[in-house]
Amino acid sequence: MYEVKKSDISTYQRIRDKFRYGLVLQSIRNQLAKLGFNVRLYYFVMEGLFDLETPSIKGDIEKTEIGFLTLDDMNIVGKYFRGYPAEEIMEWLDRGKMCLGLRYDKNIVAFMWINFKECTFDIKKIYLKEDECYLSDMYTVESYRGRNFAALLRHKSYKILKEMGRVKIYSITEYFNKSAARYKQKLKAVNLKLILYVSLFRIIKFSVTLKSYEKNLKLT
């Protein structure tokens, strides 16, 4: 079965997709972070609070298959997951993280990571209880973007996690990542806090909660 390679996606297509999916400001932030100016504005989010209809996709939903990826799949995950060395991805599995993937016509087209032990974002670390989990690093293969695979995978993950006893599902949404904000909005994720994190050359680090939306949780 043919797998789309990075080389199959042109530079022009990558730039076009940044504009198309509202990722321009997010990309600029990422580049500044590489230079030592890491400023992150993000929402701390709770997901899976509502029973929703299965999201539709552009394609045949009968060709989709969702399940946890294994060590044998990590070469494919690493090929798409730029910025994370293969060794680090393997360590995530060793530390108890799990990778949930969506296949379309047998190809891995989207995946996300799940932490059952702790919720980590920047300098904060929250140890999770037995009924909690933290979702991160959702990724859709570039050639399959715009087909709603991320929303479908996320939606299906809620049922899988709740069957595992993980009924409180957390994540973060980068303020400038409009693509992530859109699919979470479709799934009625609830923003709990708006947080600003600043790291200057990894020497000065601090975070502050700019706004709390805890009352949103009481309205669900």
Q: Encode pLDDT of 134-191 as tens digits.
A: 999 899 998 898 899 999 999 999 999 999 999 999 999 988 888 888 888 889 999 9
Assign 33 a pLDDT band (cuts: 50, 70, 90).
Answer: low
Specify the range with the lowest mean pLDDT, choosing from 11-15, 28-32, 61-65, 194-198.
11-15
Assign 116 a pLDDT band (cuts: 50, 70, 90).
Answer: very high
Asked if pLDDT for residue 7 goes beyond 50, the answer is no
Rounded-to-integer distance, Cα 77 and Cα 84, Å: 10
Say which residue, 31 or 168, is predicted with more confidence.
168
**What is the CATH code for 24-218?**
3.40.630.30
Asked if residues 166 and 116 have their Cβ atoms less than 8 Å apart, the reply is yes
Asked if pLDDT for residue 205 goes beyond 60, the answer is yes
Q: Where are the domains of the chain?
A: 24-218
Rounded-to-integer distance, Cα 97 and Cα 113, Å: 7
Rounded-to-integer distance, Cα 183 and Cα 148, Å: 8
Asked if pLDDT for residue 5 goes beyond 50, the answer is no
pLDDT at 24: 57
Angle at 114 between CA 5 and CA 82, to 5 degrees: 30
